[in-house]
Amino acid sequence: MRQTLRTMRQDAWTSEDDAILAEIVLRHIRDGSTQLAGFNEASRRLGRTAAACGFRWNACVRKQQRNIIEVAKEERKDKKAERVQAQLEGGDLDHPTATLMSWAQVLRFLRQEKNTAGQWASRWRNAERQCSEWKQRFAELEREHRKQTEAFRNMRQEYETVVNDYRALVQIMERVRKATVLSDETTSDGFLYKIDENGNLERLSEHFDIEQAE
């Protein structure tokens, strides 16, 4: 008769309980079953809930049985490999069509792997194409950067030339302003100045006719 939650044990776990739980769960691991199935079997045998068995396993027993668990997993792999080999060789007498079914499964697996390989090959080609496009774009941007850098350098040089010419012009205009005679007065140094056709200042004697200087 199945035990209800009211009849489940609530007392502390003993070393014997831990040993029984470990034996059941390890057997399920070796046989290729799940730990949950082992907890359910341990629940019926120990009179505890499956949740309590699972909690006890994860909190305590599993840590103590770590090495044995690895061995059980290896045994499970070996048993699985033996079953597959037996099916491929037609050695399972209980299933006469096991060989045909196994070959069908192998062919299905190979088709899936082929499709997967094709998808990865397509992704690889797309990645290579994108990489090539980005390399080309980078080269274009690099050339444009060099072009803009050279243009900026030329503009800076032109700007500095214009600034220097402007400063020189301001100085000339300032000298002209100071030296130009707008009336009958002469400059303090006794000379008059005029600008020739080339923009240069030409000094005139103080006796030079003002109208001629203009």
pLDDT of residue 68: 85
Instruction: Determine the Cα–Cα distance for residues 166 and 38; give it in Å rounded to an integer.
Output: 96
For 90-121, the pLDDT digits (tens) are: 544 455 444 445 677 777 888 888 888 888 88
130: left (phi over 0), alpha (psi -120 to 50) or beta: alpha
Instruction: Determine the Cα–Cα distance for residues 144 and 137; give it in Å rounded to an integer.
Output: 11
What type of residue is 50?
A
* Token code pair at residue 138: 């980078």
pLDDT band at 152 (very low <50, low <70, confident <90, very high): very high
* Token code pair at residue 182: 């707008």
pLDDT of residue 183: 41
For 32-80, the pLDDT digits (tens) are: 888 889 899 999 999 999 999 999 998 888 888 888 888 888 888 877 7
Residue 10 is assigned to a structural domain of this protein: yes
Q: What is the DSSP string of 5-21?
A: GGGS--SPP-HHHHHHH
Range of the structural domain that residue 193 is part of: 180-214
Instruction: Determine the Cα–Cα distance for residues 166 and 135; give it in Å rounded to an integer.
Output: 46
C-alpha distances in angstroms, 166 versus 80, 82, 170, 202, 213? 93, 96, 6, 21, 26
What total of structural domains would you count in the chain?
2
Beta-carbon count within 10 A of 134 CB: 10
Residue 9 is assigned to a structural domain of this protein: yes
If you compute the radius of gyration of the chain from its CA atoms, what whole number of angstroms results? 50
Asked if 39 and 25 count as a contact pair (C-beta separation under 8 A), the reply is yes
With tokens 């002209």, the residue in question is: 176
Beta-carbon count within 10 A of 111 CB: 10
Domain boundary among 88, 109, 125: 88
Residue 131 is assigned to a structural domain of this protein: no
pLDDT of residue 78: 77
Residue 199 is assigned to a structural domain of this protein: yes
Beta strands in 30-166 (DSSP E): none
Residue 41 is assigned to a structural domain of this protein: yes
